[in-house]
Structure 1
């Protein structure tokens, strides 16, 4: 049984209501957590593209991302979780892992399950909550991976 049923949450995934790019964040992180994310990406074999200030670059380590963030611009990591389903990480600071998903790519139970599985995988690996809120409303999460419940729940 899925953590969330599409019929129960589809209003949260309506781009006309919530904006197309909800805010997703893992708070209370450090550089080591970013490295865990990169290790997870490689372990899972997801395709990705990395750039800094719009310039494609080779992804080496979280430490190099942090150097780029403070010197050259915002590092951006585009990860393909499934066909036509991107997660876009931006390193604004090391103290949080911020990323976007596109609600237009997340329609239906199958796509919701991919997102939920990703939130669970990331949250468990980091031991931290992964929270999603409507675009521009980061203080009011709608759903996320709850560490204590060990699953994705409505907030």
Structure 2
């Protein structure tokens, strides 16, 4: 079966455009979807942190949950799974630690992904130079097609 990777950023709200594009591509390609969210290492070990199969609507979630980066990332991935599970498209989430562009490309290669779909942050030229662009690095190093949503307010990995 084909696999489409959707890369999201735990710091930004998920774009409905990215979800819709990924859902359309998955249906056209008869593909499963893997939603990847990458966390900084913060001195910790790089690699896979958590495999997520169960979606949860953010409106249903409890408001008293801690807001640490891991919890925020897990919440983002679970919310991103909702439209796929509602549409009957096989989907799962994957939380990883490491440099986002490298992790996205590594996981896409490991999964033999047929496409990577992601957004971008629209960094200023200074921040792009200082921080680097995750989407540009993925585009340069991926072994499969990369679709980058250029809409305003998107995440960059």
In terms of fraction of residues, the more strand-rich structure is 1
Normalising by structure 1, what TM-score?
0.31
Normalising by structure 2, what TM-score?
0.30
